[in-house]
Amino acid sequence: MSPAPQSAKSRHVAVVGAGAAGLVAARELRREGHSVVVFERGNEVGGTWVYTPRVEPDPLRLDPNRPIIHTSLYSSLRTNLPREVMGYRDFPFVTRPGRNRDPRRFPGHREVLLYLKDFAREFGIEELVRFETEVVKVGILENGKWEVRSKKTTFDNENNDSCNLDSEFVKSSEVECDDEIYDAVVVCNGHYSEPRIAEIPGVNLWPGKQIHSHSYRIPEPFTDQVVIVIGTSASAVDICRDIAGVAKEVHVASRSVADETYTKKPGYDNLWLHSMIESAHEDGTVVFRNGKVVPADIIMHCTGYKYHYPFLDTKGFVTVDDNRLGPLYKHIFPPALAPWLSFIGIPWKIVPFPLFELQSKWVASILSGRVTLPSKEEMMDDISAFYSTLEASGIPKRYTHRMGDSQYEYNNWLATQCGCEEYEEWRRLMHHATSQNKRIHRPETYRDEWEDHDLVLKAHEDFVKYIS
Ligand code: FAD
């Protein structure tokens, strides 16, 4: 695939969502000469980084007609990546002047939101965004164009400290829909808002409360409670420690440890690691595979999220099956609809912002015709080969978009397609050093103590060209 000889074409493009993916997609599309409209359901940019103490009335989010709270952030959240690695490549996440900025290397969530707002301001993205406008339908027309239907949604943004488990949601008001036609749609609606719940035999009769981490904000409602936390992902690790500060007992259930596992976490007198839950019972007890029986008050599901596109009508060309969104060429384009429908931000276990940036550059340059895609058949063959590799390696379907170490090769592939510089080596090394520090050397303090000072220096040498 090489740059196409024909002159670049300008397209009318709709972007769904103004989070980290939608913002950089809008910037790259406009840079490439396209006319861009960004639809954002909320009333500010930043997506998941727009923290609110409010939670939905149904803490497990099982009601499909519930009012939506998009963010899954908790109050104490600090980034799990160092800011040097986390930021977009050409807009470094350095400490910027201003009051109440958080200069820490692993800052609190508000600093990330302020950074995204700085980004939107620097590149004039806010003027492209239609706030409080929810996309309710994206559908393909016979002439190959896209119909985008949206409706205004006015959120009452009062911060009503209602962050306990029984909080009330302030309802949104809605008006009629708008239909518009676009050449292309770039979907950037995020995938950390639609919870996945663990299946627990007997839980329907179990009398305690259940909550998904999506609706976790602060530890106080868990004071003196016995809490079971299911999962060992980044959020689970933070949340179980947060809650252990006030709860009577916290029991973490992990599916990735041996059945006999039962250990007390070093440094805590009320935090245990168990194997997975076997069953829950009417008498309030929860039984683990290790045989332990714990009378518990609350089960917290830190069990991840599902890809969810309630607005998307692709006539069956794109489906979600066991959390595989597909078929997608390079996790971005459904071959049958390429390049007119694309998805930014689908991979996980990645460094998100720079990957979104490279994906967006590629999409923008393909839409303009400056770079060409392979034929639909070649793209389908590539996807089939990828699925076969996953299968041969025993990787479950639900991990289709999980990248880990393969993200570097992926980023470099994208960079080559777009004719831009390869992913800087210090980023890979720093990400690796942070992972080691977090997993092995300093699980409790990795955000405040590290040894990769040489890489921090290297990063700042690199940033000089972007900071005037
Ligand atoms: P989002 O930020 O979710 O944005 C999607 C936007 O689309 C939202 O604004 C939403 O309102 C809008 N939207 C959705 N549907 C519609 C619709 N129908 N119409 C109009 N608008 C719509 N990443 C890091 O780099 N570092 C971290 O430390 C880190 N920590 C994390 C901690 C938690 C708890 C979570 C959940 C995620 C974390 N992430 C972290 C990952 C984070 O999700 C990404 O960094 C990034 O913010 C995702 O951006 P996005 O634009 O894809 O999605």
Over the stretch 177-205, which tens digit does the pLDDT of each residue have? 899 999 999 999 999 999 999 999 999 99
Neighbouring C-beta atoms of residue 272, cutoff 10 Å: 21
pLDDT band at 160 (very low <50, low <70, confident <90, very high): very low
3-state class of 442 per DSSP? coil
Whether the CA torsion 7, 422, 18, 57 is positive or negative: it is positive
Our mutation pick for probing the ligand 1 site, out of 27, 61, 76, 192, counting the most ligand atoms within 8 A of Cβ, is 192
CA of 309 to the centre of ligand 1 (A): 14
Of residues 272 and 157, more confidently modeled: 272
Q: Which two tokens stand for residue 397?
A: 């379907």
pLDDT of 243 reads: 98
pLDDT at 81: 98
Q: How far apart are CA 75 and CA 220, in angstroms?
A: 11
Q: Report the nearest-CA residue for atom 30 of ligand 1.
A: 79
Ligand 1: distance of its center to the CA of 385 in Å?
30
Exposed/middle/buried for 90, CB within 10 Å: 0-12, 13-18, 19+?
middle
pLDDT tens by residue, 315-371: 999 999 999 999 999 999 999 999 999 999 999 999 999 999 999 999 999 999 999
Phi first, then psi, for residue 174 (nearest 5°) are -130, 150
Q: Are strands 293-295 and 209-212 parallel, antiparallel or unpaired?
A: unpaired
**Stretch among 136-150, 156-170, 196-210, 277-291 having the lowest mean pLDDT:** 156-170
Pocket of ligand 1 (CB under 6 A): 16-22, 39-42, 47-49, 70, 72-73, 79-81, 86, 134-135, 188-190, 192, 235, 311, 345, 352-353
Task: Tell me the CA–centroid distance for residue 46 and ligand 1, in Å.
Answer: 7
Residue 13 carries which DSSP code?
E
Other CB atoms within a 10 A radius of the CB of residue 159 amount to: 10
Cα distance between residue 10 and residue 8, in whole Å: 7
Q: How close is the Cα of 263 to the center of ligand 1, in Å? A: 34
Choose between 418 and 168: higher pLDDT.
418
* pLDDT of 155 over the 80 cut: no
Predicted pLDDT of residue 57: 83
Q: Which residue has the tokens 């305690």?
A: 208
Cα distance between residue 300 and residue 195, in whole Å: 12
Burial of residue 427 (CB within 10 Å: 0-12, 13-18, 19+) is buried
Task: Give the pLDDT of residue 325.
Answer: 98
Q: How confident is the model at residue 153 (pLDDT cuts 50, 70, 90)?
A: confident
Beta pairing class for 341-343 and 184-187: parallel
| CA dist list (Å): 222 to 76, 145, 210, 277 | 15, 51, 12, 20
Taking 80 as the threshold, does the pLDDT of residue 158 lie above it?
no
User: 208-254 pLDDT, tens per residue?
Assistant: 999 999 999 999 999 999 999 999 999 999 999 999 999 999 999 99
Residue 336 Cα to ligand 1 midpoint, Å, equals: 27
Q: Are 242 and 217 in contact (CB under 8 A)?
A: no
| Structure-token match 């109050």, residue found | 75
Half-sphere exposure of 326 (CA within 13 A, CB side): 21
Computed over every residue of the chain, the mean pLDDT equals: 93
Q: What is the pLDDT of residues 50-100, one digit of tens each?
A: 999 999 887 676 777 778 899 999 999 999 999 999 999 999 999 988 888
Two tokens, residue 449: 């103590």
| Nearest Cα residue to 68 out of 187, 174, 164 | 174
The whole-number pLDDT of residue 61 equals: 67
Residue nearest to atom 44 of ligand 1 (CA): 352
209-212/226-230 β-pairing: unpaired
pLDDT above 70 coverage of the chain, percent: 93
Pairing of strands 285-288, 293-295: antiparallel
Which DSSP helix (H) or strand (E) runs through 138? strand 133-140
In a 10 Å sphere around its CB, with 0-12 CB exposed, 13-18 middle and 19+ buried, how is residue 38 labelled? Answer: buried
pLDDT at position 167: 38
| 376 within 8 A of 338, measured Cβ to Cβ | yes
pLDDT tens for residues 165-178?
A: 433 333 444 568 89
DSSP notation for 93-114: ----SSTT----SS-BHHHHHH
Cα–Cα distance for residue pair 293/411, rounded to 1 Å? 47
Atom 6 of ligand 1, residue of closest alpha carbon: 17
Backbone angles phi, psi at 124, to 5 degrees: 60, 35
146: three-class secondary structure by DSSP: strand
DSSP 254-309: ETTS-TT-EEEPTT-SSEEEEE-EEEE-TTSEEEETTS-EEE-SEEEE---B----
What pLDDT, on a 0 to 100 scale, did the predictor assign at position 166?
39
Q: Among 48, 75, 110, which residue has the most ligand 1 atoms within 8 Å of its CB, making it the best to mutate?
A: 48
In this prediction, residue 7 carries a pLDDT of 63
How many whole angstroms from 322 Cα to the centroid of ligand 1? 21
